[in-house]
Amino acid sequence: MSVRLLNESVIKIKYLTMDITWGDEKTMHFRTNIGLITTDGPYGPDVMACEWTHQVSYRPALISIHVNVKNATHENILASKVFGVNIASADQSVLSSVAGGNSGKTTDKIKALGELGFHFIQATQIPVLLVEGAAFVAECKLFDYRTVGDHTQFIGEVVAVTLQKEKEPLIYGAGKYWHQGENIPKPSVEEMERIKKIVATHKK
Protein backbone atom coordinates (compact mmCIF):
# COMPACT_ATOMS: atom_id res chain seq x y z
CA MET A 1 0.00 0.00 0.00
CA SER A 2 1.23 3.54 -0.68
CA VAL A 3 0.18 6.71 1.15
CA ARG A 4 0.39 10.12 -0.52
CA LEU A 5 1.50 12.83 1.88
CA LEU A 6 0.44 16.49 1.70
CA ASN A 7 3.78 17.51 0.18
CA GLU A 8 3.21 14.90 -2.58
CA SER A 9 6.00 12.58 -1.42
CA VAL A 10 4.91 8.94 -1.25
CA ILE A 11 5.82 6.49 1.48
CA LYS A 12 5.36 2.74 1.06
CA ILE A 13 3.73 0.89 3.96
CA LYS A 14 4.15 -2.87 4.08
CA TYR A 15 1.60 -4.70 6.23
CA LEU A 16 2.41 -8.11 7.59
CA THR A 17 -0.67 -10.30 7.20
CA MET A 18 -1.39 -13.41 9.27
CA ASP A 19 -3.39 -16.63 9.35
CA ILE A 20 -6.04 -17.42 11.98
CA THR A 21 -6.64 -21.13 11.76
CA TRP A 22 -9.73 -23.15 12.74
CA GLY A 23 -10.26 -23.30 16.51
CA ASP A 24 -7.74 -20.49 17.21
CA GLU A 25 -8.39 -18.88 20.61
CA LYS A 26 -8.43 -15.45 18.93
CA THR A 27 -11.88 -16.26 17.50
CA MET A 28 -13.39 -17.27 20.85
CA HIS A 29 -15.55 -14.13 21.11
CA PHE A 30 -17.14 -14.55 17.67
CA ARG A 31 -20.83 -15.55 17.82
CA THR A 32 -22.76 -16.75 14.78
CA ASN A 33 -25.90 -18.51 13.68
CA ILE A 34 -25.63 -21.93 12.10
CA GLY A 35 -26.84 -21.98 8.51
CA LEU A 36 -27.87 -25.52 7.58
CA ILE A 37 -27.22 -25.39 3.84
CA THR A 38 -29.36 -27.81 1.87
CA THR A 39 -28.43 -28.73 -1.70
CA ASP A 40 -28.93 -31.34 -4.40
CA GLY A 41 -26.58 -32.22 -7.25
CA PRO A 42 -23.85 -34.74 -8.09
CA TYR A 43 -23.74 -35.90 -4.46
CA GLY A 44 -27.53 -36.12 -4.09
CA PRO A 45 -29.61 -34.39 -1.41
CA ASP A 46 -27.27 -33.00 1.27
CA VAL A 47 -27.07 -30.70 4.28
CA MET A 48 -23.97 -29.02 5.74
CA ALA A 49 -23.42 -26.77 8.76
CA CYS A 50 -22.17 -23.29 7.82
CA GLU A 51 -21.45 -20.78 10.56
CA TRP A 52 -20.32 -18.23 7.95
CA THR A 53 -23.86 -17.41 6.84
CA HIS A 54 -25.17 -13.84 6.73
CA GLN A 55 -27.68 -11.58 5.01
CA VAL A 56 -25.69 -9.02 3.00
CA SER A 57 -28.33 -7.02 1.07
CA TYR A 58 -31.97 -5.94 1.63
CA ARG A 59 -33.08 -5.10 -1.95
CA PRO A 60 -32.67 -7.61 -3.41
CA ALA A 61 -32.46 -9.89 -0.38
CA LEU A 62 -29.06 -11.60 -0.60
CA ILE A 63 -27.53 -14.17 1.74
CA SER A 64 -23.81 -14.94 1.68
CA ILE A 65 -22.44 -18.35 2.64
CA HIS A 66 -18.76 -19.35 2.70
CA VAL A 67 -18.03 -22.93 1.72
CA ASN A 68 -14.83 -24.97 1.58
CA VAL A 69 -14.08 -26.13 -1.97
CA LYS A 70 -13.68 -29.72 -0.71
CA ASN A 71 -17.29 -29.94 0.50
CA ALA A 72 -19.99 -31.85 -1.39
CA THR A 73 -22.12 -28.73 -0.95
CA HIS A 74 -19.64 -26.78 -3.11
CA GLU A 75 -20.10 -29.08 -6.11
CA ASN A 76 -23.83 -29.41 -5.56
CA ILE A 77 -24.29 -25.61 -5.68
CA LEU A 78 -22.08 -25.16 -8.74
CA ALA A 79 -24.12 -27.81 -10.57
CA SER A 80 -27.64 -26.84 -9.45
CA LYS A 81 -27.23 -23.03 -8.95
CA VAL A 82 -29.63 -23.14 -5.98
CA PHE A 83 -29.42 -23.78 -2.22
CA GLY A 84 -31.51 -23.61 0.94
CA VAL A 85 -30.42 -21.58 4.00
CA ASN A 86 -32.01 -23.05 7.12
CA ILE A 87 -31.03 -21.15 10.29
CA ALA A 88 -30.80 -23.88 12.94
CA SER A 89 -33.05 -23.57 15.96
CA ALA A 90 -31.85 -24.16 19.54
CA ASP A 91 -33.19 -27.74 19.49
CA GLN A 92 -31.16 -28.63 16.36
CA SER A 93 -27.59 -28.82 17.74
CA VAL A 94 -27.44 -32.57 17.00
CA LEU A 95 -28.54 -31.89 13.43
CA SER A 96 -25.78 -29.26 13.13
CA SER A 97 -23.13 -31.63 14.50
CA VAL A 98 -24.08 -34.41 12.08
CA ALA A 99 -24.32 -31.98 9.11
CA GLY A 100 -20.98 -30.42 10.07
CA GLY A 101 -19.10 -33.58 11.02
CA ASN A 102 -19.75 -35.74 7.95
CA SER A 103 -19.53 -35.18 4.21
CA GLY A 104 -22.24 -35.86 1.67
CA LYS A 105 -19.43 -37.32 -0.43
CA THR A 106 -19.34 -40.39 1.84
CA THR A 107 -22.50 -40.28 3.97
CA ASP A 108 -26.19 -39.90 3.20
CA LYS A 109 -26.80 -37.37 5.98
CA ILE A 110 -30.44 -36.85 5.03
CA LYS A 111 -31.18 -40.53 5.67
CA ALA A 112 -29.00 -40.66 8.82
CA LEU A 113 -30.71 -37.55 10.21
CA GLY A 114 -34.11 -39.02 9.31
CA GLU A 115 -33.30 -42.03 11.46
CA LEU A 116 -32.26 -39.64 14.24
CA GLY A 117 -35.74 -38.07 14.15
CA PHE A 118 -35.16 -34.96 11.98
CA HIS A 119 -37.44 -34.20 9.04
CA PHE A 120 -36.89 -32.56 5.67
CA ILE A 121 -39.53 -31.13 3.36
CA GLN A 122 -39.47 -30.21 -0.32
CA ALA A 123 -38.85 -26.51 -1.03
CA THR A 124 -41.58 -24.60 -2.86
CA GLN A 125 -39.51 -22.72 -5.48
CA ILE A 126 -36.25 -24.67 -5.89
CA PRO A 127 -35.43 -28.41 -6.20
CA VAL A 128 -33.86 -28.93 -2.74
CA LEU A 129 -35.00 -30.21 0.64
CA LEU A 130 -35.51 -27.83 3.58
CA VAL A 131 -35.05 -28.47 7.29
CA GLU A 132 -38.33 -28.81 9.15
CA GLY A 133 -38.35 -26.85 12.43
CA ALA A 134 -35.55 -24.44 11.46
CA ALA A 135 -35.93 -20.91 12.89
CA PHE A 136 -35.72 -19.23 9.46
CA VAL A 137 -35.63 -20.77 5.99
CA ALA A 138 -34.68 -19.06 2.72
CA GLU A 139 -34.82 -20.67 -0.70
CA CYS A 140 -32.03 -19.12 -2.77
CA LYS A 141 -30.96 -19.07 -6.39
CA LEU A 142 -27.26 -18.46 -7.02
CA PHE A 143 -26.66 -14.72 -7.56
CA ASP A 144 -22.84 -14.69 -7.66
CA TYR A 145 -19.80 -16.53 -6.35
CA ARG A 146 -16.09 -15.94 -5.99
CA THR A 147 -13.06 -17.25 -4.16
CA VAL A 148 -12.53 -15.41 -0.87
CA GLY A 149 -9.33 -16.59 0.79
CA ASP A 150 -9.55 -20.33 1.38
CA HIS A 151 -13.36 -20.56 0.94
CA THR A 152 -15.85 -19.81 -1.84
CA GLN A 153 -18.39 -17.10 -1.16
CA PHE A 154 -21.75 -18.11 -2.64
CA ILE A 155 -24.29 -15.31 -2.66
CA GLY A 156 -27.88 -16.46 -2.89
CA GLU A 157 -30.82 -14.32 -3.98
CA VAL A 158 -33.84 -15.14 -1.84
CA VAL A 159 -36.89 -16.41 -3.75
CA ALA A 160 -38.97 -17.61 -0.77
CA VAL A 161 -38.79 -17.29 3.02
CA THR A 162 -40.36 -19.00 6.04
CA LEU A 163 -39.96 -17.64 9.56
CA GLN A 164 -40.90 -19.48 12.74
CA LYS A 165 -41.20 -16.65 15.28
CA GLU A 166 -41.59 -19.00 18.23
CA LYS A 167 -38.28 -20.74 17.45
CA GLU A 168 -35.12 -19.59 19.20
CA PRO A 169 -32.06 -19.61 16.87
CA LEU A 170 -29.09 -21.75 17.85
CA ILE A 171 -25.99 -19.67 18.68
CA TYR A 172 -22.45 -20.91 17.92
CA GLY A 173 -19.21 -19.60 19.45
CA ALA A 174 -15.87 -20.85 20.82
CA GLY A 175 -16.63 -24.27 19.30
CA LYS A 176 -19.80 -24.69 21.39
CA TYR A 177 -23.55 -24.27 21.01
CA TRP A 178 -25.39 -21.66 23.08
CA HIS A 179 -28.85 -20.36 23.86
CA GLN A 180 -29.61 -16.75 23.01
CA GLY A 181 -28.84 -14.63 26.09
CA GLU A 182 -30.89 -11.95 27.83
CA ASN A 183 -31.88 -8.84 25.94
CA ILE A 184 -29.73 -5.80 26.83
CA PRO A 185 -32.05 -2.77 27.08
CA LYS A 186 -31.25 0.21 24.85
CA PRO A 187 -30.45 3.52 26.65
CA SER A 188 -33.46 5.34 28.16
CA VAL A 189 -34.93 8.39 26.37
CA GLU A 190 -33.13 10.70 28.86
CA GLU A 191 -29.82 8.86 28.40
CA MET A 192 -30.24 9.01 24.58
CA GLU A 193 -30.79 12.80 24.81
CA ARG A 194 -27.57 13.17 26.80
CA ILE A 195 -25.67 10.98 24.29
CA LYS A 196 -27.09 12.91 21.30
CA LYS A 197 -25.95 16.22 22.79
CA ILE A 198 -22.39 14.95 23.29
CA VAL A 199 -22.26 13.43 19.77
CA ALA A 200 -23.60 16.71 18.29
CA THR A 201 -20.64 18.62 19.72
CA HIS A 202 -18.32 16.37 17.64
CA LYS A 203 -20.02 16.85 14.22
CA LYS A 204 -17.49 17.26 11.40
Please report, as ranges, the residues that interact with ligand FMN according to CB under 6 A. Answer: 34, 46, 48-52, 66-68, 71-73, 96-97, 100-105, 151, 172
* Residue 139 near residue 158 (C-beta atoms within 8 A): yes
CB of 97 to ligand FMN, least distance (A): 6
CB of 137 to ligand FMN, least distance (A): 18
d(CA 34, CA 133): 14
Q: Residue 8 carries which DSSP code?
A: S
| CB closer to ligand FMN, 24 vs 182 | 24
d(CA 82, CA 138): 11
| CB closer to ligand FMN, 174 vs 195 | 174
CB of 39 to ligand FMN, least distance (A): 8
d(CA 180, CA 93): 13
Residue nearest to ligand FMN (CB): 100
CB of 69 to ligand FMN, least distance (A): 9
Q: How many CB atoms lie within 10 A of CB 83?
A: 31
